[in-house]
Amino acid sequence: MSSDVNKPPILVTRAIFPEVIARLAEHFTVESNPDDTLWDRAELVRRLQGKVGVFTTGVERVDADLLARCPSLKICANMTVGYNNFDLAAMTAAGVLGTNAPDVLTETTADFGFALLMATARRVTESEHFLRAGHWTRWSYDMFSGAEVHGSTLGILGMGRIGQAIARRGALGFGMQVIYHNRSPLSDALEQECKARYVSKEELLKTADHLVLVVPYSAASHHAIGAAELALMKPTATLINIARGGVVDDAALAQALKDRVIAAAGLDVFEGEPSVHPALLQVPNVVLTPHIASATEGTRRAMAKLAVDNLVGYLVHGRAVTALNPEVASRT
C-alpha cells in the first residue's frame, strides 16, 4: 500500500500484476489486496470508505445499496468486458462512472471459444478421463466418435466483436456455414467479412451443429437457453457458453445432457460461479473450464492496463477511455 495524502485514495479489490499497482501508485494512494482475500460485502464496503475509485474484476456487485454506503466513490473500473456486476442505472443516479475493458480480449476469447468448441465436438475431456482411468485397452472403430467441425454449421447467438471473431475462424479456417442471431443484423459489409447469415433465434437453434453463446448477460438474456430452447436443437448438436453464467439454465442443460437431448456442451461460465450446478459434474458429455476464456498473460495484462487507464484518465485528467455511462462524466 502506498500512502501519500496528496493523492486520491483508491481500492484494488483483488491481487493483480505488481506493475499495475506501481502505476496506480504514481497517481493515487492505493489500498491493494496482495493476498487475494475474498472480501464479503461488509468488508468491501468498509474498505471503500473514503475511496474515490475502485479497480474491480467483474464480480464485485456495485448497486444502489453499496453506493449509498460509499458516498465518496466516483468511478468503478472493471478489468473485464462484461459488467453485469454494475447496476448502471443506480451508478448513473449516484453520479458514479462505470468503465469496462472491451476489445483487448476479443481475439483471445474467440480463440478459447473455438478451442472449447473443438474439445466438446471431439469429446476431448471425456476421452482423456477414459484414458486416465486405465480403460483404453484396444482400438475400436467407434471409440469416442465425435461431431465434424469442418464443413458443419456454426451458430452464434450474440454477434458483437467476439461473435464476429468466432465467425471468421469458423468460416475462413474450417469452411463452416455461419449463421447468427442478434438483436439486430450486422451491416452487409460486416456480414460479408464474417461470411455469416442472419436468421431467427428459432432457426438458429434448429439448424446449428455447434451453437456458441456470446450474448451479454442482462435481464433480457437471463436463461436465453433453457429446456424449451434445448429441445429445438439437433440431438447431435453441441452448445458452447463463453458468455456469462445465467444466459443458460444450467439445471435444464444438465438434464438435457443426461437425456441426450443434445450431444454435448462446453461451458466456461456458470450460474452462481464459482459454484457449479452439481448435476453438471455428473454427466460425462460436458467440458467444464473455470471462466478462463481471456486467460493469457498478455490479454490479462492488457485488460488490467485498460482499467488503470480509465482510473487515471477520469480521476486525473477528467476523461475515461471506455465509459459505460458517459453522461456521468459530462456532469463534472
pLDDT tens per residue across span 141-162: 999 999 999 999 999 999 999 9
- Identify the band that residue 330 occupies on the pLDDT scale cut at 50, 70 and 90: confident
pLDDT in tens, 170-189: 999 999 999 999 999 999 99
Q: What is the pLDDT of residue 44?
A: 98
Half-sphere exposure of 127 (CA within 13 A, CB side): 13
Taking the C-alpha atoms of residue 52 and residue 59, their distance in angstroms, rounded to an integer, is 19
DSSP structural state of residue 294: T
Q: What is the pLDDT of residue 329?
A: 84
Mean residue pLDDT of the chain comes to: 96
Cell 460509499 belongs to: 70
pLDDT at residue 1 greater than cutoff 60: no
- Identify the band that residue 331 occupies on the pLDDT scale cut at 50, 70 and 90: confident
Question: What are the angstrom distances between the C-alpha of 89 and each of 63, 73, 98, 210, 321?
Answer: 9, 15, 10, 36, 20
Taking the C-alpha atoms of residue 226 and residue 228, their distance in angstroms, rounded to an integer, is 6
Q: Tell me the catalytic residues.
A: 244, 273, 291
Instruction: Record the cell numbers describing residue 137, joined without a space.
Output: 485397452
In the chain, what is the straight-line distance between the N-terminal and C-terminal CA atoms, in Å? 29
> Mean pLDDT over residues 273-289, rounded?
97
Mapped onto helix, strand or coil, the DSSP state of residue 118 is helix
> Mean pLDDT over residues 204-218, rounded?
96
Taking the C-alpha atoms of residue 260 and residue 270, their distance in angstroms, rounded to an integer, is 20
CA dihedral defined by 65, 70, 72, 78, rounded to 10 degrees?
A: -80
Q: What is the pLDDT of residue 6?
A: 84
> Mean pLDDT over residues 300-314, rounded?
98
> Mean pLDDT over residues 89-98, rounded?
98
Cell 473450464 belongs to: 289
Percentage of the chain surpassing pLDDT 90?
96
Amino acid identity at 168 = R
Percentage of the chain surpassing pLDDT 70?
98
Mapped onto helix, strand or coil, the DSSP state of residue 250 is helix
Q: Domains along the chain?
A: 9-102+297-331 (3.40.50.720), 106-288 (3.40.50.720)
Q: What is the pLDDT of residue 2?
A: 47
Q: What is the pLDDT of residue 5?
A: 65
